[in-house]
A and B are shown apart, each in its own frame.
Chain A
Amino acid sequence: MDGERNLAELKVGDEAVIGRINTTDDKILKKLMALGVLPGMKLVLLQKFPSYVIKVGNTRIAADDSIARSIVVVKK
């Protein structure tokens, strides 16, 4: 455990546990939760450019920078 960081601060291939969603935009929070991006879930960062791609469970999710920065993770 070495503290919180957002997705943008991870390296491709890193695994981490989602800590919380840090956003002021209600819709983003709701959508991420609906997609199963919830605190406590494990994620793998697959790609950062041109878009972020993460894997949560067996689901792959593409997202842009603003969303990636709102996903706060705790690195394993």
Chain B
Amino acid sequence: MSCCHQEKKGGLFKNLLRRNRGDSEASEKQVSKKKMVLVGTPNVGKSVIFNRLTGVYATVSNYPGTTVEVFRGTCRIGEEVFEVVDTPGMYSFMTITEEERVTRRLLFSEKPDIILHVVDAKNLERMLPMTLQLIEAGLPVMLVVNMMDEAQQIGREIDIAKLEQLLGIPVVGTAAAINKGMDLLKKRVVQYVKKRAA
């Protein structure tokens, strides 16, 4: 459940409280903001990652279709300031429901500096097709293999380095709900954006 009024007010309120953390309006204007878009299948943890990155609360629930609207926040990593966009989950590029169309339109109309494709480590085989589609589209995509903790519980190991090599894009493993891998994620994001700018 996500409601525009709800989150935006919440975000504003928190931003006011957290001015000193550096994500206030004033410092946003000095540096040109980079755009980071989170996409992926429903219920893989996009909104958890969004919350961890921005400190703005976007609703997280354990069912597909929690986020139905695009949601924006700000995240600062070192020097770089990002506008982070959380999107409704989408099962494939061939969209069916309204909230999926919202996400595809966003991908096709805005120019993100980096797209984080968030996938569930337990269901890699089902989710990689979209990664291939994003690569195919020529979009600046980085793969986030989330829920590594749950994959481990069912006895699944994933060779992240090998995956990175096979896909030819940066890949990071995370367990966002328990805050694992988030630092590495941020580091790789900055590396990627710097390299792209160069």
- Residues on A facing B (Cβ under 8 Å): 27, 30-31, 33-36, 56-59
Say yes or no: A57 contacts B96, CB within 8 Å: no
Interface status of B123 (Cβ within 8 A of chain A): yes
- Residue B94 CB within 8 A of the other chain: yes
The distance in angstroms between the C-alpha atoms of A36 and B92, with both chains bound, is 10
In angstroms, Cα B157 to Cα A48, docked, is 32
A30: chain B residues within 8 A (beta carbon): 92, 94, 96
Name the B residues within 8 Å of A56 (CB-CB). 126
Assembly CA distance A5 to B49 (angstroms) = 43
Distance between Cα atoms of A56 and B122 in the complex (Å): 12
Q: Which of A33, A34, A57 contacts B125 (CB 8 A)?
A: A57
On whether the beta carbons of A36 and B126 are closer than 8 Å, the reply is yes
Beta-carbon nearest neighbor of B90 in chain A: A34
Q: Shortest CB–CB separation between residue A13 and chain B, in angstroms?
A: 20
Q: What sequence of 0s and 1s flags, for each residue 137-180 of chain B, a beta carbon within 8 Å of any chain A beta carbon? A: 00000000000000000100000000000000000000000000
